Chains A and B, each alone.
Chain A
Amino acid sequence: MKKQNDNKIRKTGLGARASRRISNTIIYIVLIIITIVWLFPFVGILLESFKTETNMQTPYLFPKEFGFDHYVKLFTKTDFLKWFGNTAIMGVATAVLQTIFILSMSYVLSRLRFKGRKALMNMMLILGMFPGFLTMILIYKVFADAHLIEEMAPLGLIIVYCASSAMGYYVSKGFFDTIPKSLDEAARVDGATRFQVFYKVIMPLSKPIVIYTILMGFMAPWGDFVLASYLIHENSQGMNVAVGMYEWLSRTNMNTHYTMFCAAGVIVAIPVVAVFLALQKYYVEGVTGGAVKG
């Protein structure tokens, strides 16, 4: 009887191990397929950018001849450097200003209790649900009157990115909520003003969320097309990379500019990837720290 039971247990054990191995294999195959599908466009763009051809009709993925012609052309024959500069300036300015606005708002909502606080938070939550481009016509009208379009569009765009940024207070407020209030109180008793509490105690403890906010602010202008194209028109001096490069994909330019487009895409990715890699450790901490504990 005992022997029979032992055999049964052993068989069940073997069966469980085998079925786990099979299910793991299936999971890994699916994951590998998803990874390939996900990586393909990035690898494709990188490889295309090194081709010497200019059109997108080449029937092979790997370049027959590697060349840097498109990269050279980008900086010598086009306004790409200007667009890149515009976007970088927008990225840095937005990162700095957004971080100040968002963190100040989050700290206030986390720490101070004032009349209308909850109503304000709810209102911002609801307003944040509306798509941004609903306000485009009005923004255009106001900015046109203020001469913040075309060549001056980058300045206008910085204002747009930053003006409503404080509405994205949730993640950082969640993070601040996890910092014990007694630290603020101890600092206030120790002689600190509210502002000193914020930058001498709370900020050093909030590195992850500061980094996260900087990253979000820096990355936003690199991918903005809809609002940017609306404010810039066709003024090359005011373009960001997305609007500038879009021209190269028009039906007439496609065959002559496609691979250069890919080269520009690779260059655009460099600062974003560099900043991201440098700060990624804190970024992950910031996202999870705020979300889970908050």
Chain B
Amino acid sequence: MASVKLTNVKKIYGKDTVAVQEFNLDIADKEFIVFVGPSGCGKSTTLRMIAGLEDISEGTVEIDGVVVNDLQPRDRNIAMVFQNYALYPHLTVFENMAFSLRLKNVPNEIVYEKVTKAAEILGITEYLTRKPRALSGDQRQRVAIGRAMVRDSKVFLMDEPLSNLDAKLRNQMRAEIILLRQKIDTTFIYVTHDQTEAMTLGDRIVIMKDGFIQQVGTPTEVFDMPLNLFVAEFIGAPKMNTFKTKLVCEGDKYYVNPYGAKIEVTGKKAEMLKGKRIGSREVILGVRPEHFVLSSSDNPEAIPCKIVVNEMMGSELHLHVVEDNGDKLIVRIPTVSLSDEQRASLVYGSTIYVTFEGKVMHFFDPETQANLLV
């Protein structure tokens, strides 16, 4: 167990390809932190710098107060789980898990004890004599996790460990990682491109783009108060709807006018706008798909639009709709809230009216894309 501190970490490949820059982060002891972002954002590179598999171009990485920049991976007391499992194909599951202990010449009895204990926790005891090629994807990933577990290392690094699994197994393993975390109680740094994994696993999430940290916060913080448009669109599925509109300040009330509708900003958001003394201006308005509700043509707050795709997800409907101007929106409606007639009417080409409440809006600056309320 250990804290990890990254100070002004930068990674440059070749002469001028910058992969990570200005990376500053304090990871507390026993914290589960998730690096998330699209491909090429520098999340895996940062993890690999912590592991010692990539040189650090600038800045420092500290583990438990010790600068580890020049230490070899083996001297950092870390464990790592790789996306493609990286199991040694010529060794049995037992020997794969015992590999690090054998290198340290740990006595056989202790090796046996540690490996069997980890195998028991992970439910792979019956596979200990098999070679990795005789295992399924999730079993292999369990072995990879087991190999990291037996080391009792200070920091547990995981580089997209679930990406190679199918959707069902991914959900199952995700839940198991949450349980595992309770059992081994160490510092975790987890890399993923999947925002659902990030939201469900992390104590805090680090959202990255183009080598820069965009926001660091708890899942609730990044979901409710994204610092910028990128974070707002990246976190949440389906992604947040955004459209340019005008924020109108009339007396002490605020309105927005998306597509001709007039919707009043209410609740905490209205208080914050007042507090920040924001006047009438152009904004990018963000509304999450689940915050839309079906309405009717006589509602002045309703936006008329046409259904182009209807995705039945079981518990909810994802309606891809096109507004009169051609803007596309995604509306998420719980199926339980719909009558049979309503469900039957939500088909390709039909016109529906949608609106949203004034307290669920997000406002971004069209130029800087920063959240106006932060």
- A193–B82 CB distance below 8 A: no
Q: Give the contacting residue for A191; candidates B82, B84, B89, B100; CB below 8 A.
A: B100
List residues 48-106 of chain B with CB under 8 A from any CB of chain A: 51-53, 72-74, 78-80, 82-84, 86-90, 99-100, 103-104
- B99–A190 CB distance below 8 A: yes
Q: B147 near A: Cβ within 8 Å?
A: yes
A54–B89 alpha-carbon span in the complex (Å): 57
- B80–A186 CB distance below 8 A: yes
Contacts of A196 in B (CB 8 A): 103
Tally chain B residues at the interface, Cβ within 8 Å. 23
A190–B100 alpha-carbon span in the complex (Å): 5
- A185–B103 CB distance below 8 A: no
Q: Give the contacting residue for B74; candidates A180, A182, A183, A192; CB below 8 A.
A: A192
- A205–B103 CB distance below 8 A: no
Q: B151 near A: Cβ within 8 Å?
A: yes
List residues 157-180 of chain A with CB under 8 A from any CB of chain B: 180
Contacts of B90 in A (CB 8 A): 204-205
- Asked if A192 meets B103 with Cβ closer than 8 Å, knowing A185-B53, A186-B80, the reply is yes
Contacts of A186 in B (CB 8 A): 80, 82, 86-88, 147
A191–B51 alpha-carbon span in the complex (Å): 12
- B84–A187 CB distance below 8 A: no
Interface of A, secondary structure class, is helix
Q: Which B residue's beta carbon lies closest to that of A206?
A: B90
A192–B147 alpha-carbon span in the complex (Å): 14
Q: A188 near B: Cβ within 8 Å?
A: yes
Contacts of B51 in A (CB 8 A): 185, 189
Contacts of A180 in B (CB 8 A): 84, 86
A292–B104 alpha-carbon span in the complex (Å): 38
List residues 232-268 of chain B with CB under 8 A from any CB of chain A: none
- A191–B86 CB distance below 8 A: no
- A191–B80 CB distance below 8 A: no
Contacts of B100 in A (CB 8 A): 190-191
Among B53, B82, B86, B88, the one with the most A-chain Cβ atoms within 10 Å of its Cβ is B86
Q: Give the contacting residue for A182; candidates B78, B82, B89, B103; CB below 8 A.
A: B82
> Would you give the shortest CB distance from B237 to chain A, in whole angstroms?
29
A190–B82 alpha-carbon span in the complex (Å): 12
A200–B89 alpha-carbon span in the complex (Å): 12
- A190–B84 CB distance below 8 A: no
Contacts of A201 in B (CB 8 A): 88
> Would you give the shortest CB distance from B51 to chain A, in whole angstroms?
6
Contacts of B80 in A (CB 8 A): 185-186, 189
Q: Which B residue's beta carbon lies closest to that of A205?
A: B90
- A189–B104 CB distance below 8 A: no
A200–B229 alpha-carbon span in the complex (Å): 49
> Would you give the shortest CB distance from A100 to chain B, in whole angstroms?
20
> Would you give the shortest CB distance from A182 to chain B, in whole angstroms?
4
- Asked if A191 meets B88 with Cβ closer than 8 Å, knowing A185-B53, A186-B82, the reply is no
- Asked if A189 meets B78 with Cβ closer than 8 Å, knowing A180-B84, A182-B84, A196-B103, the reply is yes
Produce 1/0 per residue, B144-178, CB < 8 A to A: 00010001000000000000000000000000000
> Would you give the shortest CB distance from B114 to chain A, in whole angstroms?
14
- B72–A188 CB distance below 8 A: yes
> Would you give the shortest CB distance from A29 to chain B, in whole angstroms?
44
A192–B75 alpha-carbon span in the complex (Å): 10
Q: Which B residue's beta carbon lies closest to that of A204?
A: B90
A184–B104 alpha-carbon span in the complex (Å): 17
A205–B79 alpha-carbon span in the complex (Å): 23
13 CB contacts below 8 A, A to B, read A180-B84, A182-B82, A183-B88, A185-B82, A186-B147, A187-B99, A188-B72, A188-B74, A189-B52, A190-B100, A193-B74, A201-B88, A204-B90
Closest 8 CB pairs of A and B: A186-B86, A190-B100, A182-B86, A191-B74, A204-B90, A191-B103, A188-B73, A189-B80
Q: List residues of chain A with CB under 8 Å of any chain B CB.
A: 180, 182-183, 185-193, 196, 200-201, 204-205
